Amino acid sequence: MAEGPTLGVGTADTATAGRPIIVRTREELAAATSGTVALVPTMGALHAGHLSLMEHVRPLADTVVTSIFVNPTQFAPGEDFDEYPRTFDTDVAKCAEVGVDVVFAPTVDVMYPSGLDGTVRVDPGPMGRILEGETRPIMFQGVLTVVAKLFGLVRPDFAIFGEKDYQQLTLIRLMAEELCLGVQVLGGATVREADGLAMSSRNTYLSSEERALATAVSDALNAGAAGAANGADAALAAARSVLTGRGIEPDYLVVTDPHLGEPRPGEEGRMLVAARIGTTRLLDNVAVHLGGGAGPH
């Protein structure tokens, strides 16, 4: 797992000229934080969306910690764990630009001292088995497990996650509340490219032709949001028309309430979509205000 140069125990990097302290071990991490702590968990390959999360929590905390860890337990065999982009040095430089104090970049052994097969895992429950959980059945177990570990190690007062991965954000909020973890989980607005595509580390997988086609995902959501005044069915029909008109059959396209339950007419809802562009699977979502009858979704 090549996430950057490995530092030994007791050899934490030191902050220089605004550069974050880089820590690798539990002991180094404990020594590097103080006061009110905010955590921004990432898998690296940082982009403007990640940086917006760091900027959001900077005024809230004495210590801002960004974790960089490509978590193996959320990847199934045959998924892109080995190919996932790893740009550690560039990531640290970007963290410095937005005032991050500590970069926590552990090895697998630090995060999973009992090994990947022997570790205790967090069951995401029913919400983890729909939508993304249906397509990637082990992912949310892996996500919640590593996030719970990060919460225990960093002991943050706040943690922030992007709304682009809306189901993930919803599950982490639920976990923090139900397991009484004492962390306030914040959501950061999705950051988009100029043409509307939601920023994602996996966008680097797209060819130039696929990148042009990928705007259909956000275009569909915009159409759905505009059609939502006539109810959930109208919103879904408008969004699906955009996708199928460009030859895209989504893995799912749904309207829910803000907690991923049944949508209610006259209230706020959420439209979520997952679609493959070439071999790259893109996720996006948007808030919608539902009028009329919600109908089946």
Amino acid 18: pLDDT: 76
Amino acid 293: pLDDT: 56
Query: What is the DSSP annotation of 266-277?
Result: TSEEEEEEEEEE
Strand 102-104 relative to strand 268-277: parallel, antiparallel, unpaired? unpaired
Do residues 241 and 223 touch, judged by C-beta distance below 8 A?
yes
* Angle in degrees, CA 4, 75, 188, rounded to 5: 75
Measure the CA–CA gap between 201 and 205, rounded to whole angstroms: 8
Q: Where are the domains of the chain?
A: 21-188, 205-289
| DSSP 8-state code for residue 255 | E
Amino acid 13: pLDDT: 54
Residue 157 has pLDDT above 60, yes or no: yes
Do residues 289 and 268 touch, judged by C-beta distance below 8 A?
yes
Q: End-to-end alpha-carbon separation of the chain, Å?
A: 41
Per residue in 97-130, pLDDT (tens digit) is 999 999 999 999 999 999 999 999 999 999 999 9
Residue % of the chain over a pLDDT of 70: 93
Domain 21-188: state its class. Answer: alpha beta
Per residue in 262-276, pLDDT (tens digit) is 999 999 999 999 999
Nearest to residue 23, comparing CAs of 6, 40, 35, 38? 6
pTM metric for this prediction: 0.91
Report, as residue numbers or ranges, the catalytic residues.
50
In the block, residue with structure tokens 């892996």? 142
Residue 8 has pLDDT above 90, yes or no: no
| DSSP 8-state code for residue 160 | E
Q: Mapping DSSP to helix (H, G, I), strand (E, B) and coil, where does residue 108 land?
A: helix
Do residues 162 and 42 touch, judged by C-beta distance below 8 A?
no
Per residue in 16-48, pLDDT (tens digit) is 547 899 999 999 999 999 999 999 999 999 999
Q: Which helix (H) or strand (E) holds 254?
A: strand 252-256
Do residues 102 and 64 touch, judged by C-beta distance below 8 A?
yes
Superfamily of domain 205-289: Pantoate-beta-alanine ligase, C-terminal domain (3.30.1300.10)
Amino acid 5: pLDDT: 31
